Amino acid sequence: MTGADKAFLLSQGRDGLLTWASQVHVAETLGCSLGQVEEAALAEGLLPSRYQRNRTTFSIADQLSFRRARIAVVGCGGIGGYVVEGLARIGVGTIVVVDPDHFEESNLNRQLLCTIATLGKGKAEAAANRVAAINPAVMVAACCERLTPENGARLLGGCAAVVDALDSIEARKELRGVCDDLATPMIHGAIGGWYGQLCDAFPGDAALDRVYGCGEGPGEQTRLGNPAFTPMAAAAFQVAEVCKIITGQGKPLRGRALMLDMSEGEAEAVELVDESR
Amino acid sequence: MADENTVTIIVKLFASFRPGRFREASRDYPAGAQVADVIADLGIDPKEIGMIFIAGKHADPDRALKTGDQLALFPLLGGG
């Protein structure tokens, strides 16, 4: 944007806020994208009105960091749908969504993006449509393919963090290898029945070895199922982890795992360090 | 009461390991018993074990038990 463009943009603000109608007007007048307007506004200290309720939690500088961040969500089912929703609403600028699957009826009990209208539709595509309905300034790269060690760098390169919203332990171990190679933090979340577990695996961390080190089975969800509330809870924590990693606020779940028991209304953080240490 | 032939530990179970068992219990095992023996004693399939903690830190199934250990067992969760 030129100096004149920025002056025009600033002239459209009221009380430090830029309404959606003004954002659209600026984009149309200057011939640039809604995302470019959002980023330029934040860089000039003008807050898009949609982020007013973010403001006392996150500064305009934090909001600009969200805008400039690229975050991947691998898996777009129960957890992933809510994670995409949260990232789009918080204002992450680019979301990479990876999922090869299509919605089926058994997803209707919990998956945010699964509706009667989306049955049979691709999950990654549904995520892109949902984000466009919330904020067209957010870019979505919808990848309708399974993440593998071969395509991992192509799909996830340049991401500040990768959210693990997969539904199998084997796929998670594979994702962890890709994230380690890319030196990108992986934000782990897994659920089953009333229960959930969360932790951040930074490059080289043994976090995934700790949470999955002992057992060899597929996980308790195969026996316990997945009701509506557990993916919501796991996703909320994972979105908060993304926000902490981007802004430096708070204390990430690194070296710790948070175990949720929604049946008893409890959360327990455990240290992921060896007893010998 | 623990003697030289017995170790007394506290076992804490989490999530799906609780229903039908207990939340926290003091239990006696023969001296030399390992974490794996507790898992077998509780009728838990070792394949279902996600994390093992003693005194809040990760431990392995072959860890020998000592009187006073606080053992926590978490199930494997893989859904999403």
Between A275 and A74, where is the model more confident?
A: A74
Q: What's the pLDDT at A277?
A: 54
Q: What's the pLDDT at A161?
A: 98
Concatenate the DSSP letters of all residues of A225-262 into one string.
Answer: ---SHHHHHHHHHHHHHHHHHHH--S---BSEEEEEET
- A136 domain-assigned: yes
Q: What's the pLDDT at A220?
A: 85
Q: Which of A19, A43, A61 is the last residue of a domain?
A: A61
Q: From B80, which residue of chain A is nearest by alpha-carbon distance?
A: A167
Statement: residue A275 has pLDDT above 80: no
Q: What's the pLDDT at A17?
A: 98
Q: What's the pLDDT at A213?
A: 75
Q: What's the pLDDT at A27?
A: 98
Domain at A234, CATH number = 3.40.50.720
Tell whether domain B6-75 is in CATH 3.10.20.30: yes
Asked if residue A92 and residue A18 are part of one domain, the reply reads no
A151-160, A195-204, A214-223, A251-260, range with the lowest pLDDT: A214-223
CA distance B71 to chain A (A): 12
Q: What's the pLDDT at A216?
A: 77
Q: What's the pLDDT at A86?
A: 98
Asked if residue A253 and residue A125 are part of one domain, the reply reads yes
* A261 to B15: CB separation less than 8 angstroms, yes or no: yes
Strands A139-143 and B57-58: unpaired
> In terms of C-beta density within 10 A (0-12 exposed, 13-18 middle, 19 or more buried), how is residue A116 classed?
exposed
d(CA A67, CA B20): 49
Statement: residue A266 has pLDDT above 90: yes
Q: Which one of B16, B49, B53 has the shortest CB-CB distance to A215?
A: B49
Q: What's the pLDDT at B3?
A: 77
Mean pLDDT of the B47-74 span? 93
Q: What's the pLDDT at A274?
A: 72
Q: From A228, which residue of chain B is nearest by alpha-carbon distance?
A: B80
Q: Which one of B45, B47, B78 has the shortest CB-CB distance to A221?
A: B78
- A152 domain-assigned: no
- A178 domain-assigned: no
Mean pLDDT of the A97-116 span? 98
CA distance A218 to chain B (A): 7
d(CA B39, CA B60): 12
Asked if residue A16 and residue A100 are part of one domain, the reply reads no
> Do residues A163 and A242 make contact, with C-beta atoms less than 8 angstroms apart?
yes
The residue segments making up the domain with residue A99 are 69-147+159-168+186-271
CA distance A93 to chain B (A): 24
Asked if residue A191 and residue A129 are part of one domain, the reply reads yes
Q: For A57, what's the count of Cα atoms within 13 Å in the CB-facing half-sphere?
A: 10
Asked if residue A207 and residue A101 are part of one domain, the reply reads yes
Could you tell me if B51 lies within 8 Å of chain A, comparing CB atoms?
A: yes
Q: What's the pLDDT at A276?
A: 62
Could you tell me if B64 lies within 8 Å of chain A, comparing CB atoms?
A: no
Asked if residue A139 and residue A32 are part of one domain, the reply reads no
Asked if residue A82 and residue A27 are part of one domain, the reply reads no
* B76 to A169: CB separation less than 8 angstroms, yes or no: yes
Share of chain A above pLDDT 70, in %: 98
| DSSP H or E run through A72 | strand A70-74
Q: What's the pLDDT at A14?
A: 97
Asked if residue A130 and residue A13 are part of one domain, the reply reads no
Q: Which residues of B touch A226 (CB under 8 A)?
A: 79
> In terms of C-beta density within 10 A (0-12 exposed, 13-18 middle, 19 or more buried), how is residue B24 classed?
exposed
Q: Which one of B52, B61, B78 has the shortest CB-CB distance to A167?
A: B78
Alpha carbon A232 to chain centroid distance?
13
> Do residues A43 and A18 make contact, with C-beta atoms less than 8 angstroms apart?
no
Count structural domains, chain A.
Answer: 2
Q: What's the pLDDT at B76?
A: 94
CA distance B60 to chain A (A): 8
- A131 domain-assigned: yes
Q: What's the pLDDT at A54?
A: 96
Asked if residue A135 and residue A19 are part of one domain, the reply reads no
Could you tell me if B72 lies within 8 Å of chain A, comparing CB atoms?
A: yes
Q: From A212, which residue of chain B is nearest by alpha-carbon distance?
A: B50
DSSP conformational letter for B79: B
- A86 domain-assigned: yes
Residue of A210, A275, A276 to mutate for B, most B C-beta atoms under 10 A = A275
Asked if residue A76 and residue A140 are part of one domain, the reply reads yes
* B53 to A193: CB separation less than 8 angstroms, yes or no: no
Strands B24-30 and B6-13: antiparallel
Statement: residue A234 has pLDDT above 60: yes
Share of chain A above pLDDT 90, in %: 90
Q: What's the pLDDT at A222?
A: 87
Q: Which residues of A touch B78 (CB under 8 A)?
A: 167-169, 172, 190, 192, 218-222
Angle between helices A20-30 and A3-11 (to 10 degrees): 150
- A221 domain-assigned: yes
Asked if residue A7 and residue A77 are part of one domain, the reply reads no
Alpha carbon A187 to chain centroid distance?
9
Q: Which residues of A touch B38 (CB under 8 A)?
A: none
Statement: residue A107 has pLDDT above 80: yes
Q: Return mean pLDDT, chain B.
A: 94
Statement: residue B1 has pLDDT above 60: no
Contacting residues for A70 by C-beta, under 8 A, at least 6 apart? A92, A93, A94, A95, A96, A158, A159, A160
* B77 to A271: CB separation less than 8 angstroms, yes or no: no
Statement: residue A273 has pLDDT above 90: no
CB pairs under 8 A between A and B: 123
What is the complex's ipTM, to 2 decimals? 0.89
Q: What's the pLDDT at B29?
A: 97
Asked if residue A16 and residue A94 are part of one domain, the reply reads no
Q: What's the pLDDT at B57?
A: 86
Q: What's the pLDDT at A3?
A: 95
